[in-house]
Amino acid sequence: MANNLKKTGIIYNPDAKGAYNLAKKLESNLCEPFLLKINELNSTDLTDVNFLVSIGGDGTLLKCADAGAPLDIKIFGFNVGRLGYLAQAMPKDYKKVIEKIKNEKYKIDERLMLKVDCGKKTFVALNDVVIKGEVFSRTSILKLYINDIFVSNYLADGLIISTPTGSTAYNLSAGGPVLSPKIDAFTIVPICPHTLSVRPIVIHTTDKIRIEMSDLDKFYVTADGQNVYEVEGEISIEKYEKKAKLITLDEEKKEFYDILREKLHWGQKPEK
């Protein structure tokens, strides 16, 4: 058995149909495996782990990536959720997938991540960071600075700062542009802005973002749609020094635009 399968964490979503059964099948085929429910991941020491298998939807894989990226852990996803945009393999193919990984017939797709500094807490995100005011039923005024230069006041429900990976998620729903994963850029998109002249912007990954809340003392920050953090004063966002390492199988050979068509039905006519 190849060394690259040793110390493998099998992370599954217990609410996803078939996830636990697949986890048990994988457990019997891997070296030094351990099973974890997704809500146990953040409290587990991953220091000696070199491979994480995500079983669930894209949310499960995002949690694995956020936990594994700081330790350079490789991630592979089985989709038992709805969309499966990032988690590429289906449960029925698990034997073939294991064989491919054992024989190292895969590629590592490195994805940009965001680092968020809230003052008292620092965390990372593969998809996006969403900032909203303390009172969700009203708009907020958020002050945006890039490289310490004032850009604009945003009267809006909030802001989305997205990576290229996350550009097809909340960013897309809010009217932001789709970015190829090969582009070194982030997007900043207002959520339901109350000013017609405010539009999404694209910035380079070397730029540093700072956001202040001008009309309220507190606001809330969500990373990858997971945990919600309360923040006072300001928040800083920049490129994380490490990247998420997502495993893609050689046999897939699918380009970014192929996935857009297949998963998001890009450019296809609505069904009658």
55 with 135, same domain: the answer is no
pTM over cut 0.85 = yes
Structural domain includes residue 95: yes
Q: Phi-psi category of 175—alpha, beta or left, where left has phi over 0 and alpha has psi -120 to 50?
A: left
Structure confidence by residue, pLDDT tens digits, 78-118: 999 776 778 778 899 899 988 888 888 888 999 999 999 98
Please tell me the total count of domains within the chain. Answer: 2
Residue 252 and residue 221 share a domain: no
Is 201 contained in some domain? yes
pLDDT beyond 80 at 264? no
Tell me how far the alpha carbon of residue 144 is from its chain's centroid: 23
The CA distance from 186 to 208, in Å, is 10
Identify the CATH number of the domain in which residue 61 sits: 3.40.50.10330
Say yes or no to pLDDT of 74 above 50: yes
219 lies in some domain: yes
Kindly report, residue by residue over 142-169, the tens digit of the pLDDT. Answer: 999 999 999 999 999 999 999 999 999 9
Band the pLDDT of 2: cuts 50, 70, 90: very low
Choose, from 15, 45, 48, 58, the residue flagged as catalytic: 58
Decide if 58 is catalytic.
Answer: yes
Identify the domain containing residue 142 by its residue range.
Answer: 114-239
Q: Where residue 55 falls among pLDDT bands split at 50, 70, 90?
A: very high
Buried-exposed string 196-232: b where 16+ CB fall within 10 A, e elsewhere: eeeebbebebeeebbbebebeeebebbbbbeeeeebe
Write down the pLDDT at residue 66. Answer: 95
